Amino acid sequence: MTKAAIVILAGTDGHENLGRIANGLEAAKEFAENDEDELELIFDGAGTQWIPELEDEEHDYHDLYATVSDQASACDYCSGAFGVDEAVQDAGVVQLDDNDGHPSIRSLVDDDYEIITF
């Protein structure tokens, strides 16, 4: 069994960040498709801005996002800081605040997750 935490940090501006979200979602999908693997998909920092973008059914990567959205979570603090708090809540994405308002990366490492960032 593999335990992977994919952390999306890339913002929504720039072609390179579009590549990062595509690669991050593809990696998440690969883990999600293996029943023996455990996946945490975390949108953190500027990455929280992707949630309202990907919730839009017209977005090129909406369908890919939809395959893993049930395993997605977002940083509570960063959702507010980047102005997407309401959109994250509307999407039903769990907001993590275990480390001063942020997700606890240390807890994931302690639980033997491999941390992969995009």
Neighbours of 76 (CB within 10 A): 20
pLDDT digits (tens, 9 = 90+) for 42-92: 999 999 999 999 999 999 999 999 999 999 999 999 999 999 999 999 999
Token digits of residue 34 = 């293996």
Look up the CATH number of the domain holding residue 39: 3.40.1260.10
Question: E strands within the chain?
Answer: 3-8, 38-43, 72-75, 94-96, 114-117
- Which domain range does residue 98 map to? 3-117
Measured distance CA(22)–CA(2) in Å, rounded: 21
Measured distance CA(81)–CA(90) in Å, rounded: 17
pLDDT digits (tens, 9 = 90+) for 9-42: 999 999 999 999 999 999 999 999 999 999 999 9
> pTM surpassing 0.85?
yes
Q: Please, are residues 29 and 64 in contact by the beta-carbon 8 Å criterion?
A: yes
How many domains in the chain? 1
